[in-house]
Amino acid sequence: MPFATIVLDSTPVATSTQAGTFNFQASPGVHTVSATFIGYEIFSDRFNLQNDTTIRIQLKSSVENLNEFVVVDQANFAKDVIQDNQMSTISLSPREMSMLPTIAGETDVIKVAQLLPGVTKGFEGTNDYFVRGGDADQNLVLLDGATVYNTGHLFGFLSVFNPDILGDVQLTSGGFTADQGGRLSSILDIKTLSGQADSVEVAGSIGIIASRIAYRQPIKKDRLTLSLGGRRTYIDQVLRTINADVQIPYFFYDVNGRLDYQHNEKHNFYFSTYYGADVLDFSRLDESQRGNSDFNSNFNLTNSMQTVGWNFTPNSKQALEATLSRTQYDYTLNSSFEGNSIDLFGAIEDYALRTKWTQFLTQKQKLTFGYDGILHGISPSKFITTGTINDFIPSSQSRGLEAQEHAVFVQYDRPINSLLQLKVGYRQSMGIADGRAYLNPEPRLALRYTLTESSSVKFSYSRMAQYLHRVSSSAVSLPTDIWYSITRDIKPQTADQIALGYTRSFSKIKSYVSVEGYYKYMNNLTEYQEGTNLLLTASFEDQLLQGSGYSYGTEFLFRHESKRFQGWASYTLSWTNRKFDGLNNGREFPAKYDRRHSVSLVGQFDLTERWTFSAIWEFLSGSRFTPIVGNYTILNPSGTGVELVPIYTDRNAVGVSNSHRLDLGLIFKSKPSARFKSEWHFSVYNVYNRATPASIVVRTNPETGNLEYIQPALFGLIPSVAYHFRF
Amino acid sequence: MMKKLWTYIFLVSILASCIPEDLPIENIPQAESRLVVSSAIQQNLGVVVTVTRSINALDDATRLDPDDLLAELAVSGADVQFLGNNQSITVQELFPGVYATPVSSLSPNVEYELRVNDAERGQSVSASTEFLRSVPILIVEAVAVKATTDSLAEVTVVFSDLPGEENWYLVSVQPIGESGPLLSDEDVFAHLFTDDDQDGQQITESFIALDFDGYDIGDTILVALSNISKGYYDFLDARENDQTGVEFLYEPYNYPSNVNNGYGYFSLHTLNSRIITVQP
């Protein structure tokens, strides 16, 4: 289990690695060693440590074992939050995520992350999220260390992550450590289930949109474990079964695989792989459904990641984590009609090496250093037209590029005294592309000052650099968006962020409160010249602009975890603005998702040992929009008459209406003693069917005949039911 | 058949019952009404300047036909002047909102300032541009081209590029209905291009003219060639890229303007027009 906090005699001393290993130093003697993670029972025991010792800890889910474990102290996890130097980081357990009401019954790690403080969602239903005022492409998403470029199936409606194979998830939005880099705003580190299985484990779900299954089996006990997972939507098959005359030629699927090999106490290896695809293929329709039989269209989008990992712990003072990964993301669109065709293609392929060496200098001083390197192969994005259509929509193609990212880093952790903990780091990154190399220093600093046993103040500063950006001229991300690198003319994006936070735990009510304020300045952000339309062209480089932005805000988080009730309440107050010389006449303007207020109330309550009730209530200030506010007439280009020209506000000058939404969920579990465990999940998304608008349009009122502004919405009330099982 | 119908009804009912009502929104600050100018040089009329007023987005006038629209928004009785070449030229009102002066009163390649003063509304605007040399059409023809479901017109224009200067060109194509070209509700297609590396040479420019209804053999069309300024080129380019109606997919923006305190574009370009028939 990664990201678990290891506590030695009330002091956090380590965080478990991706392989679930950890190192710490202790003076000889009897010590209490604890391990904690959100959603799991705390492990705590006393050990007489005289020389190098291996301790194996297995955490159990606190929700599944209400009657079996004596809970040591649920609020210890709060203590870890207070004592830990790390700030602006939140961990989520898969169990915690699976208990929340969901859209269409599918647990979605991205949708849960959008409920966290400092995280703003984009267009409703999509997987875009914006962290502390950054853009959607400033979030690095990793799956077992491999970059994930496209996080959504069904145009972003569902994430690509099968919840049944997920291990733990950690979102870092500030206070970045020196080994973290590559994006400006956040790192969402997602791990699949790891470690050695004791026995065969099967888990799955049957829902209204998709079904999934996961399988784990020890191949050789305590040595080799195989994990597999698969998921497919079947709305196309269900409709075909009900009525062959009604067909939807779309489906998605994904498969995960993982091998964990524990060679001995010192060496641990794993191989993780993912392959997923979205397919929209009109040729799958029967003749009767296709109408004009000459029309054909086929859209394929694929994600593929593979990671080989090695964890080496030669002794209690040293540890090495190394991963070698490959990521491929590509899409193709082929449409043909009466001798004409439109073909669209884009792809990116990465090979990455990440290494991190941890050296304990003393019991409390730690040195971490390493190297990260990524090779990006960006294929030319192509828009090819043939036939008569080529005469008015010409073909176009962007340049293919090979780009490299390299970074070396070092970080030093030590206590200054009994109250003050210091973490200072330096990351030197470099991006190379298009015959040009860019160097960026990325210093890091974190301080934690313990006020009392239950409260602390934290400060962090980090500088981040980003050498890739996502090409999209639309307000929402599309499956055909392209990831592109720096060039001779396009510089790397950079961000400087400071954060100051206060955390206090309340052991009596098993909760903690966290308040964090931040300021972030971003430079060399990319945007497009006004009027850029990338829907019918692949040529975009000369349309790019660079500018700056800044954001600031305050985040409040109250988190509670007790036997029967877990949840959190978060509130974020924030501002984020942009300035580009070529946009909005050079004047500063609010970012698209400059949502002033964001409130999330999330909770799950065990009514009985078999019934659990969960709810999410969310309030969001409206996103920003540029509505039409007038018209004027000009001579047409022939000079024979007049035509209307729209007048818009300044860019993003108007906020759409605030939105709020209530989701409810009810879970009915099988008897705790049953070996075959099952759960029925009933949920309702948007219980009171309120619109979450994203745009402002003018339309004719059907009753009065007058023109009026309206804000159309996409999703209303969506009930769902799913059956989960595990044995 | 009934099974298919019931399936569709079931699906639509489920989806329709769950689509929330659109949210109203009020208090969106509307653009204040300002003077709007646009201009061109017509072979028969001379320099034509339209002076109108802008309206807010919810004004019913946006649903009017072009002739009614001009009448509704026309600014009458404004004082319209050209200043340049050490002279001041008063532009006379032909009919409401439309002002004109003979082109002979202007000198080529001279910068002129337009000043419009509307005493009734207490508003005035100004704009400057260069009077550009006219480029006559040598040859123009249009040929019907079979497209997917309709036929389009491939238009070819031949002309001599003005030597020694960088040029931006406009060719407009407009179908002519029974009522003639003036103030019709037909859409005008604009093709924009530059002289690139063909300075001073004879240029043959061919392109596909798009029209919502397509073009048939025998259709009558108006083709006009103009030598325009870079600024007006950018204005028309913004018109070409305008995607009003799908704002949630792209970022809206205001057309560029050279009019101070107002809207529109002041341009002194000559429309060299020909009326031709689409050939097979």
Burial annotation A28-57 (CB, 10 A radius, 16+ → b, else e): eeeeebbbbbbbbbbbeeeeebeeeeeeeb
- Residues with Cβ < 8 Å from A160, sequence gap 6 or more? A148, A150, A151, A152, A153, A254, A274, A276, A303
Predicted confidence (pLDDT) at residue A76 exceeds the cutoff of 70:
no
Report the C-alpha gap between A685 and A663 in whole angstroms: 5
Contacts of B184 in chain A (CB under 8 A): 640-641
For A703, other C-beta atoms within 10 Å of its C-beta total: 6
Q: Which two tokens stand for residue A266?
A: 């010192």
Summary mean pLDDT of chain A: 87
- Reference A93, options A126, A60, A65; nearest CA is A60
Please measure the distance between the N-terminal and C-terminal CA atoms of chain A and give it in whole angstroms. 20
Q: B143 to chain A, minimum CA–CA distance in Å? A: 13
Residue A123 DSSP code: S
Whole-model pTM: value is: 0.87
Contacts of B252 in chain A (CB under 8 A): 626, 628, 646, 648
Nearest CA in chain A to B41: A639
pLDDT tier, A73 (very low <50, low <70, confident <90, very high otherwise): very low
The beta strands (E) that lie in A58-155 are given as 89-92, 119-121, 129-131, 139-143, 146-147, 152-153
Q: Tell me if A635 and B50 make a contact (CB, 8 A cut-off).
A: yes
**DSSP β-ladder status, B139-146 and B151-160:** antiparallel
Q: A687 to chain B, minimum CA–CA distance in Å? A: 10
pLDDT digit string, tens, across residues A168-188: 889 999 999 999 999 999 999
Length of chain A, please? 727
- Reference A634, options B37, B11, B201; nearest CA is B37
Nearest CA in chain A to B148: A338
Q: Which two tokens stand for residue A98?
A: 């699976």
pLDDT digit string, tens, across residues B61-111: 888 887 788 889 999 999 999 998 888 989 999 989 999 998 887 888 889
Contacts of A717 in chain B (CB under 8 A): 17-18, 20
- Summarize the confidence of residues A16-43 as an average pLDDT: 76
Report the C-alpha gap between A211 and A230 in whole angstroms: 8
Contacts of B152 in chain A (CB under 8 A): 388, 391-392
Q: B141 to chain A, minimum CA–CA distance in Å? A: 17
Identify which of A638, A645, A647 has the shortest CB distance to residue B224: A638
pLDDT digit string, tens, across residues A424-478: 999 999 999 999 999 999 999 999 999 998 999 999 999 999 999 997 756 566 7
Residue A33, pLDDT score:
86
Q: Is B178 on the interface with A (CB under 8 A)?
A: no
Contacts of A642 in chain B (CB under 8 A): 38, 50, 52, 66, 69-70, 183
In chain B, residues 5-34 whose CB comes closer than 8 Å to chain A: 7-8, 11, 17-26, 28-31, 34
Residue A239 DSSP code: H
Residue A498, judged by CB atoms within 10 A of its CB (0-12, 13-18, 19+), counts as middle
Do A568 and A97 form a contact (C-beta atoms < 8 A)?
A: no
For A559, other C-beta atoms within 10 Å of its C-beta total: 21
pLDDT digit string, tens, across residues A525-569: 999 888 777 666 667 788 889 999 999 999 999 999 888 898 999
Q: Tell me if B188 and A243 make a contact (CB, 8 A cut-off).
A: no
Residue A155, pLDDT score:
75
Q: Tell me if A709 and B222 make a contact (CB, 8 A cut-off).
A: no
Distances (CA, A) of A544 to A235, B236, B255: 40, 21, 19
pLDDT tier, A64 (very low <50, low <70, confident <90, very high otherwise): very low
Residue with tokens 């805000």: A553
Predicted confidence (pLDDT) at residue A403 exceeds the cutoff of 70:
yes
Residue with tokens 């999934």: A212
Q: Is B273 on the interface with A (CB under 8 A)?
A: yes
Q: Tell me if B252 and A626 make a contact (CB, 8 A cut-off).
A: yes
Query: Which of B34, B206, B254, B274 is the best mutation test for A, with the most CBs of A within 10 A?
Result: B254
Report the helix count and the strand count for chain A, using DSSP H and E: 5, 46
Nearest CA in chain A to B268: A639
Nearest CA in chain A to B147: A388
Give percent above pLDDT 70 in chain A. Answer: 90
Lowest mean pLDDT among A232-241, A328-337, A570-579, B89-98: A232-241
Residue A421, pLDDT score:
93
Task: Report ipTM for this prediction.
Answer: 0.92
Report the C-alpha gap between A447 and B272 in whole angstroms: 73
Report the C-alpha gap between A509 and A444 in whole angstroms: 35
Phi, psi of A432 (to 5 degrees): -125, 125
Q: Which two tokens stand for residue A506?
A: 């309340």
- Reference B182, options A582, A151, A642, A74; nearest CA is A642
